[in-house]
Structure 1
Amino acid sequence: MPVILRHEGFKFFFYANEGNPREPIHIHVRRDGMEAKFWLTPQVRIAYNEGFDARMQRALIAVIEANVNLIERKWDEFFA
């Protein structure tokens, strides 16, 4: 489970086994027993959410958007 980014107690990561065939590029976010998954393309959006309120979801989307190039690069490096 490669961790790509840590931000204000949040862990941004992806699972090494992302399905067969592999799912499109995305990132998981976890903190305090809550987790969400975000698709990156065609725009950052929520795939599922377990516990984050709407305000926090918007904040997480902003963090992901600011780091989308890093996330995509790390995804490509890991799954290459």
Structure 2
Amino acid sequence: MPTVITTAGFRFFFYSNEHLPKHIHVEKAEKTAKFNLEFVELIKSSRCNASELKQIRNLVEENQELLIQKWDEFFSN
């Protein structure tokens, strides 16, 4: 489970056996979310409230280029 970034208490990561479309998993304590990277949108979440999902979405948008770059680097090997 490569961690790409950790910010605002959230860990952004992907699993080593991922599939398309490009997406990122996010966790903080027992809260999780999964966002599409190419067209930033929520795929699913568990235990996150609306405020947290908005914060995560903003972080994904702010780091979108880096997250896609890290996906491409990891899965091109």
- TM-score interval for Structure 1 and Structure 2 normalised by the shorter chain: over 0.9
Query: Where do 1:2-41 residues align within 5 Å?
Result: 2-18=2-18, 22-41=19-38
1:11-42 CA-partner distances (Å, limit 9, x unpaired): 00001111xxx22100000011111100122x
Q: Distance in 1 between matches of 2:30 and 2:52?
A: 14
Report how many residues are paired.
Answer: 76
Gaps (5+ residues) in structure 1? none
Q: Could you say what the CA RMSD is over the residues aligned between the two structures, in angstroms?
A: 0.8
Q: Distance in 2 between matches of 1:55 and 1:34?
A: 13
Q: Work out the percentage of aligned pairs sharing the same amino acid.
A: 39
- TM-score under structure 1 length normalisation: 0.90
Q: Distance in 2 between matches of 1:13 and 1:62?
A: 16
Q: Distance in 1 between matches of 2:15 and 2:24?
A: 9
Q: Which amino acid counterpart does residue 37 of structure 2 have in structure 1? A: L
Gaps (5+ residues) in structure 2? none
Query: Where do 1:61-76 residues align within 5 Å?
Result: 61-76=57-72
